Structure 1
Amino acid sequence: MTTTHTLDVPGGRLHYEIRGTGPLLLVAGAPMAAADFAPLADALAGDRTVVTHDPRGISGSVLDDPEQDSTPELRADDIAALLDALGAESADVFGSSGGAVTGLALVARHPGRVRTLVAHEPPLLELLPDAAEQRATTDDIVETFHRKGVGPAWMAFMAHAGFDIGGEGAPTPPPGEPSAEQLADSARFFAHELRGTARYVPDVPALTAGPARVVVGIGAASGGLLTYRTTTALAELLGTRPVEFPGDHGGFLGRPEEFAAVLRTVLAQK
């Protein structure tokens, strides 16, 4: 059974969902919403209390100021507020993509609130040797959104991320026309979230010195993706090796049961 809830946070209201029983696991994406993680959450709910949420300004999580930028720090504070609302001193956290960046900010800003963070393919472009070029490309993608709209911006974003647009195995949009909510979420991502996530620089001393265990996750099929580079760069900074998960950047979407099995194993380790 899944229950839905809302929580007032500074500057807005969060939509979140709870399913399952057992130790608390908070799942985070950015800009991916709670609905995108439902198959993975269902696969984990047999032995975990799984909490998913819509990041601020996305889907059911509304802002007082729709023009407010979304930063990893703000999203991390939202997760800390969720833990407070749940009466939880700490929790395990799985973050994917921008949600992994949120998790890294959470560990740094709120010591003691995270037991284990699994940061799956965080797009930390500032860690790359060509960070200045990456920054310029991100700016170009945002400009493409402002000049041409959501569709061309997504094409530019996916090509930059390393996906073979139109090739075998390339991500495909859902059938039919995108909904008004999907268009609004995409517009918010390009106008108010992409830069802040891509330009986040993790606090390595805080990640390595605190009580939280930080595990870096990488897709078995992500070798050609930009996030493969950023993930391995983070692992090197932390002095660890990435843990391999099924699929590529979105492996939990197509193979949720297999993905959940690996995640369970990682969380069970000390």
Structure 2
Amino acid sequence: MSDPTVGSLRVSGANLHYEVRGQGPVLLLIPGGTGGAASFDGVADDLAAAYTVVTYDPRGMARSTLDDPEAAQHVAEHADDAFRMLELVSPGEPARVFGASSGAIAALHLLTARPERLTRVVVHEPPVVEVLPDAAEHRALLARVRETFHAEGLMPAMAVFAAGLAKGGDTVEPKAEPEVPPRAAARAEQTMAGLPYFVGRIVPAFMSYAPDIRRLKESADRLVLAGGQDSPGELPHRATAALAERLGTELRSFPGGHIGLTTHPREFGEALLKALRI
């Protein structure tokens, strides 16, 4: 597969690094966590056999710089960035979108804000904890993460955050750490570099987001909700399952756990291709 076309898109308050590969209908991939466009390295080429695949680093991550490095972050602004990316590569034409984790939250908001621009939206484990009956407990978790981050630093805050994600409502048997492909392991430095921004500003903004259930129901025929087959009981999976129940839609099972995109790229890509079919 040939190298992607690389560019930079100016949006309000930021410059977004993006990459385009393949041909066919447009498929925009919105990353979660700190991986940026590189988090799709394991699936982008295979998807590009059927689609014009657009990947990018969200504002403040990796190669996408903020005008004000201390600026507060908002889901609606990140969703608008995704819309601007679609307008760049596919002006006025409906497109498909996939979002993972925090990127899945941006994709959900994009669907409620610009439904006319989207033919299919697939989201994998958006941690929309506000839809859960125990949402107050998770607001308290976010407060503990924020307090720990400011008082003790990054790694103690990450430990609090990881424990909160893992315990969920169900009992989850301890699992061995999944093996990560070498290419993904090589991104560890970028992942670590982005953690302070992610924990300090993305997590509080995104995990306090309450999706518009009414508007999502209006577009439910275009929305696919997916959870990892290895992650039931973990907080992002619980939230996604609760959202599926609220919308009266199926929760599809994708290979691996919350980071199945990284640990099972080939199988994850195959599941995504099936989910994208209209």
> TM-score of the superposition, structure 2-length normalised?
0.89
Amino acid at match of 1:76: A
Match of residue 68 from structure 1: 71
Amino acid at match of 2:107: G
Q: Displacement, 1:202?
A: 0.8
Note if 1:255 corresponds to 2:225. Answer: no
> 1:95·1:118 contact (CA, 8 Å) conserved in 2?
yes
Match of residue 150 from structure 1: 154
Secondary structure of 2:42's counterpart equals helix
Note if 1:219 corresponds to 2:228. Answer: yes
- Tell me, in whole angstroms, the C-alpha distance in 2 between the residues paired with 1:81 and 1:136: 34
- Tell me, in whole angstroms, the C-alpha distance in 2 between the residues paired with 1:177 and 1:49: 24
Q: Displacement, 1:64?
A: 0.7
- Tell me, in whole angstroms, the C-alpha distance in 1 between the residues paired with 2:265 and 2:161: 25
Question: What per-residue deviation string (whole Å, max 9, x for no partner) do you get for residues 210-233 of structure 1?
Answer: 486011001111113111210111
- Tell me, in whole angstroms, the C-alpha distance in 1 between the residues paired with 2:30 and 2:64: 13
Q: Displacement, 1:30?
A: 3.0
Match of residue 138 from structure 1: 142
> 1:125·1:198 contact (CA, 8 Å) conserved in 2?
yes
Note if 1:207 corresponds to 2:211. Answer: no
> 2:120·2:223 contact (CA, 8 Å) conserved in 1?
yes
Residue from 159, 162, 169 that aligns with 2:176:
169
Q: What is the number of residues matched between the two proteins?
A: 266
Q: Displacement, 1:42?
A: 2.1
Question: What per-residue deviation string (whole Å, max 9, x for no partner) do you get for residues 141-195 of structure 1?
Answer: 122122222222222221211179xx6423689879964x544411111211111
Shift in CA distance, 246/192, structure 1 to aligned 2, threshold 3 Å: same
CA RMSD across the alignment? 2.2
Secondary structure of 1:247's counterpart equals coil
> 2:30·2:100 contact (CA, 8 Å) conserved in 1?
yes
Shift in CA distance, 172/252, structure 1 to aligned 2, threshold 3 Å: closer
Residue from 32, 36, 45 that aligns with 1:33:
36
Q: Displacement, 1:47?
A: 1.5
Amino acid at match of 2:95: A
- Tell me, in whole angstroms, the C-alpha distance in 1 between the residues paired with 2:262 and 2:186: 19
Q: Displacement, 1:19?
A: 1.5
- Tell me, in whole angstroms, the C-alpha distance in 2 between the residues paired with 1:250 and 1:105: 21
Note if 1:97 corresponds to 2:106. Answer: no
> 1:161·1:225 contact (CA, 8 Å) conserved in 2?
yes
- Tell me, in whole angstroms, the C-alpha distance in 1 between the residues paired with 2:150 and 2:40: 29
Secondary structure of 1:35's counterpart equals helix
Note if 1:193 corresponds to 2:202. Answer: yes
Note if 1:12 corresponds to 2:19. Answer: no
**Gapped regions of structure 2 (runs ≥ 5):** none
> 2:26·2:90 contact (CA, 8 Å) conserved in 1?
no
- Tell me, in whole angstroms, the C-alpha distance in 2 between the residues paired with 1:255 and 1:90: 29
Secondary structure of 2:216's counterpart equals helix
Residue identity over aligned pairs, in percent, reads 40
Amino acid at match of 2:13: G
**Gapped regions of structure 1 (runs ≥ 5):** none
Amino acid at match of 1:142: R
> 1:112·1:212 contact (CA, 8 Å) conserved in 2?
no
- Tell me, in whole angstroms, the C-alpha distance in 1 between the residues paired with 2:186 and 2:51: 35
Shift in CA distance, 222/211, structure 1 to aligned 2, threshold 3 Å: closer
